[in-house]
Amino acid sequence: MIDDSQVLAFIAATEASYPPEANTAGAAENRAYYDAMCARFRAPRPDGMIVTDRRIGGVPCRLYGSETPVCILYLHGGGFVVGGLDSHDDVCAEIADAVGLQVVSVDYRLAPEHLWPAQIQDVEAVWRALDRAAVVVGDSAGGMLAAALCLSQKGKRQPLGQVLIYPGLGGEGDAPSYRENAEAPLLRASDVLAYRDILFGCAPVTDPVARPLMASDLSGLAPAFIVTADVDPLRDDGKAYAERLSAARVPASWRNEPQLPHGYLRARTTSDRARRSFHAIIAEISRFAVSADTRKADRKCEFVLEV
């Protein structure tokens, strides 16, 4: 499925620190593997970047750049079990530098110590405490939380846009990508199910916010840009969500990245494919931020398929 030498090198480097069995290890062991992998790939922050840690709405957050009228709310990935302020520090710093807006990264509580809905409660607390407009961005588990935030705020103040990066959106697991990429590098279909069980404690999931793809009504949500990795069991969740948003007259576009696996943001400095995708993500964040005042209420929704 993958013959791009840069991508293959990224996968090998990732698995050297974070082997496939780490996904199903206990939380402490998984976090140790994950932290080591993140440290291996972490790039230095852009020169002059101002970074401060503080609580917003009672939740630990990290702020990149000086305060701006519009900010970016970033929700990190990690299957709701691993990750935090340090794991995505360089990604957040680079986004803040490239877009010229302050990034607020949220250190939401993790499972299994804190089961759902602790994670969305933390994100909602930060959202309510923000006194300005924001674009919400998340990767993987954070992409699900970004979509969940928009759903939980339905009928209330919405983000300017939602940027979902290879998100898990609560699909049934019967889409083609779950079969085609069942043994994909860096995230297998069985890993997706294992993380889901940890988050919900193996209990039935009845909260529609917890499974955005299964929500009955998506109308009135923030416009969306969804980017997926082609070699990822979660790929078709992103496509299906873009289609459902479009059907609900929410502007939505979907971009699929050939030959890239889940977690490819960390390859942005070594892979041309990942770098182009990161630049596209930055462009969409900027578009949502700067178009807020000119967006018309009757703007027609768009579903754009990019491959």
Query: Active-site residue among 87, 89, 177, 262?
Result: 262
Residue 204 has what pLDDT? 81
CATH superfamily for 5-292 is Alpha/Beta hydrolase fold, catalytic domain (3.40.50.1820)
Query: Active-site residue among 232, 237, 246, 253?
Result: 232
Please tell me the pTM assigned to this model.
0.94
Arithmetic mean of pLDDT over the chain: 94
Whether 76 contacts 116, CB under 8 Å = no
Helix (H) or strand (E) holding 69: none
Cα 130 from Cα 126, distance rounded (Å)? 6
Cα 157 from Cα 163, distance rounded (Å)? 17
* Domain residue ranges of the chain, discontinuous segments joined by +: 5-292
Query: Active-site residue among 87, 90, 97, 140?
Result: 140
Residue 150 has what pLDDT? 98
Q: Give phi and psi for 280, each to the nearest 5.
A: -65, -40
Residue 297 has what pLDDT? 36
Q: How many CB atoms lie within 10 A of CB 300?
A: 7
Q: How distant, in Å, are the alpha carbons of 132, 153, 204 from that of 101?
A: 12, 23, 40
- DSSP code of 222? P
Question: Coil, strand, or helix at residue 242?
Answer: helix
Residue 172 has what pLDDT? 87
Residue 292 has what pLDDT? 59
DSSP-assigned letters across all residues of 137-188: EEETHHHHHHHHHHHHTTTSPPPSEEEEES------S-SHHHHHTTT-TT--
Catalytic, 140? Answer: yes
Residue 301 has what pLDDT? 36
Cα 75 from Cα 33, distance rounded (Å)? 20
Whether 145 contacts 138, CB under 8 Å = yes
Residues 96, 99, 104, 106, CA torsion sign? negative
Q: Which residues contact 265 (CB under 8 A, 6 or more apart)?
A: 91, 139, 165, 274, 278
Going by C-alpha positions, the residue among 179, 182, 168, 181 that lies closest to residue 78 is 168
Low-confidence ranges of the chain (pLDDT < 70): 292-307
Catalytic, 262? Answer: yes
